[in-house]
């Protein structure tokens, strides 16, 4: 129970990696605030945690609404008396190369994949400063450490958020507030839809997984959740400014 009585706030936790990370942190003892734009999905994740005998609550939250995001974080810190973990996970995947991506879609990618993480971290730091410590996990992607063909909006924003995470880590390490980036590879969730379109269908994606990923398979949300729990806990207490890449060797 390495996260016993810690307070965790997770965005994009209604499904996939976000939900798995929330469940894992709760299983390790944390009280988890599960947020998602889809309130029913957030509630389903929270209900699964509660049914397993752990602690959680659900909040409907659109992270592109600055005021709502800040208010949610401030509200949890006020209600619980502290905020130990932020996993800023919500993101968007827009496929296409330069001439195929509308400016509006690039703006949407930036807003959700970079700006929302900035706002969430900015709101969280003052609460962690009061308690003298904290762990902020921001989801990038292994696309943040390599370049995906015909995925300009996604790769650009994932590189940007990794740079931002490292900058924040450098700025706040002396306050014992740690920032690390979670960089998953191909995990078999609906979030891969953009890559499926770009590659020409599900069968083409599966061919890529089998031939180009050294381990020859998709990862699982449970495997990524282990990384989330590691970054959240004191098991990674001397780790900040890092990109934790979990991708079956794809980026090597």
Known catalytic residues are 154
Tokens of 61: 């939250």
d(CA 52, CA 60): 22
Instruction: Tell me the backbone φ, ψ of residue 223, rounded to 5 degrees.
Output: -65, -40
* CB proximity list for 225: less than 8 A, separation 6 or greater: 17, 20, 21, 23, 24
Sign of CA dihedral 204, 207, 211, 213: positive
d(CA 85, CA 101): 34
d(CA 148, CA 176): 34
Secondary structure letter of residue 248 according to DSSP: T
CB 239 within 8 A of CB 180: yes
Minimal CA–CA distance to 40: which of 14, 69, 68, 13?
14
H/E stretch holding 181: strand 177-184
Minimal CA–CA distance to 185: which of 150, 223, 135, 151?
223
d(CA 11, CA 62): 9
């Amino acid at each position: 129970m390495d996260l016993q009585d810690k307070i965790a706030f997770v965005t994009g936790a209604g499904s996939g990696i976000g939900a798995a990370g929330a469940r894992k942190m709760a299983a390790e003892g944390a009280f988890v605030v599960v947020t998602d734009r889809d309130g029913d999905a957030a509630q389903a994740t929270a209900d699964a945690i509660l049914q397993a005998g752990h602690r959680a609550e659900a909040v409907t939250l659109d992270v592109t609404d600055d005021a709502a995001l800040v208010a949610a974080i401030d509200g949890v810190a006020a209600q619980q008396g502290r905020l130990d973990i932020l996993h800023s996970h919500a993101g968007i995947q827009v496929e296409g190369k330069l001439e195929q991506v509308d400016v509006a879609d690039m703006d949407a990618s930036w807003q959700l994949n970079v700006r929302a993480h900035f706002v969430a971290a900015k709101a969280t730091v003052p609460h962690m400063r009061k308690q003298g410590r904290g762990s902020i996990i921001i989801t990038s992607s292994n696309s943040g450490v390599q370049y995906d063909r015909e995925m300009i909006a996604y790769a650009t924003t994932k590189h940007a958020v990794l740079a931002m995470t490292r900058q924040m880590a450098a700025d706040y390490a002396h306050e014992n507030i740690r920032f690390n980036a979670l960089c998953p590879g191909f995990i078999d969730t609906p979030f891969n839809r953009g890559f499926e379109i770009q590659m020409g269908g599900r069968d083409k994606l599966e061919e890529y997984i089998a031939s180009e990923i050294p381990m020859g398979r998709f990862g699982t949300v449970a495997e990524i959740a282990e990384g989330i729990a590691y970054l959240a806990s004191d098991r990674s207490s001397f780790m900040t400014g890092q990109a934790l890449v979990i991708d079956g060797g794809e980026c090597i």
